[in-house]
Amino acid sequence: MPPGILRNSLSIGKVTLGFPARLLIRTKEGQRTVPSSKLDKGEPLTHTALHGCFGCGQHNRTGLRLRFYVDDTGQILSTVRLAGRFEGPPGHAHGGIVATLLDEAMSKTNRAQNIVAMTRHMEVDYLRPVPLRTTLQLTARHLSVEGRKHHCAAELRNAAGELLATGKALFIAIDPARFQASKPSMRAMKS
Ligand SMILES: CCCCCCCCCCCCCC(=O)SCCNC(=O)CCNC(=O)[C@H](O)C(C)(C)COP(=O)(O)OP(=O)(O)OC[C@H]1O[C@@H](n2cnc3c(N)ncnc32)[C@H](O)[C@@H]1OP(=O)(O)O
């Protein structure tokens, strides 16, 4: 097990993984830490109101519907089980999906600090093929900030803790109101 990441055991559904003993969760009333054994009862961290997001939108039926949590050190955690439709090499995930996992996890390091930011630059190291239909561990950390520039890193591991892929990215903080105002209207999109 890699030191610093797997510190305790946690069950999410039928899957047991190593995670910190207490995790930070966000609810409508605010945020609090809970024992990780109660994680599945907590509210996951998502982009506010972005229910259609391919990565974490719980309303996107064809998306990944990832559920993210924050531990008390600020690390972002998720477990992932990729369906067969995300295949690239036989039996393994498409590289674009692996990049999506890392990008999405890194974006949550900003979200956890109430920063709205978009990915500007990202790099991925594909270390091992990522198997489908098996439990994977996704973690991310916020590394540094300089003005609007947020540097983040993410790791994808198999259930045994072996490193499969890593990512680093630059996110730029944006003004969500300006982003909303610049969205094309539905009428414009249909024409
Ligand atoms: C509620 C509704 C809102 C929801 C919003 C979405 C939430 C998020 C959802 C997340 C979903 C998951 C994640 C996703 O999938 S996010 C989706 C994928 N990402 C995008 O679509 C982003 C598209 N790009 C943009 O919109 C713009 O480029 C943004 C907004 C990102 C920045 O354009 P803007 O014009 O504002 O900024 P700037 O060009 O002045 O650059 C700023 C600074 O950065 C420096 N720089 C640039 N490149 C590099 C580089 N490679 N290395 C080092 N530095 C670099 C640059 O020199 C400058 O520095 P400085 O001169 O200031 O010192």
Strand partners, 137: 79, 157
How would you write the pLDDT of the chain (191 residues) with one tens digit per residue? 222 222 344 433 343 444 444 555 554 555 555 544 444 434 566 555 567 899 998 889 999 999 999 888 889 999 999 999 999 999 999 999 999 999 999 999 999 998 999 999 999 999 999 999 999 999 999 999 999 999 999 999 999 999 999 999 999 999 988 988 887 764 555 44
Q: Whose CA is nearest to atom 18 of ligand 1?
A: 119
Following DSSP, what letter does each residue of the chain receive, concatenated? --TTT--SEEEETTEEEE--SEEEEEETTEEEEEEGGGGGGSPPB--TT-TT-TTT-TT-TTS----BEEETTS-EEEEEE--GGGBSSTTBB-HHHHHHHHHHHHHHHHHTTT--EEEEEEEEEE-S--BSSSEEEEEEEEEEEETTEEEEEEEEEETT--EEEEEEEEEEE--HHHHHHTSPPHHHHH-
Q: Whose CA is nearest to atom 27 of ligand 1?
A: 120
Task: Give the ligand 1 atom nearest the CA of 104.
Answer: 12
Separation of CA 171 and ligand 1 centre (Å): 6
> Among 37, 55, 36, 35, which residue's Cα sits nearest to residue 46?
55
Domains of the chain are: 9-190 (3.10.129.10)
Q: What is the atom index within ligand 1 of the atom nearest the CA of 120?
A: 31
Is residue 167 within 8 A of residue 104, CB to CB? The reply is no
pLDDT of residue 13: 39
CA 26 to ligand 1 center in whole angstroms? 26
pLDDT of residue 30: 56
Tens of pLDDT along 29-67?
555 555 444 444 345 665 555 678 999 988 899 999 999
pLDDT of residue 33: 55
**Residue 151 to residue 167: CA distance in whole angstroms:** 11
Q: How far is the CA of 149 from the centre of ligand 1 (A)?
A: 8
Pocket test of ligand 1: the residue of 142, 172, 180 to mutate, having most ligand atoms within 8 Å of its CB, is: 172
Instruction: Give the pLDDT confidence score for residue 182 in this predicted structure.
Output: 87
Q: Which residues contact 182 (CB under 8 A, 6 or more apart)?
A: none
Q: Quote the pTM value.
A: 0.82
Q: Which residues, other chains included, contact 167 with Cβ-Cβ below 8 Å and sequence gap of 6+?
A: 99, 102, 103, 106, 122, 123, 124, 125, 153, 154, 155
Specify the pLDDT at position 6: 29
Residues near ligand 1 with C-beta < 6 Å? 47-49, 103-104, 107, 116, 118-121, 147-149, 170, 172, 174, 176, 179-180
* 191 CA from centroid of ligand 1 (Å): 28
Atom of ligand 1 nearest to the CA of 146: 63
Tell me, what's the pLDDT at 47? 57
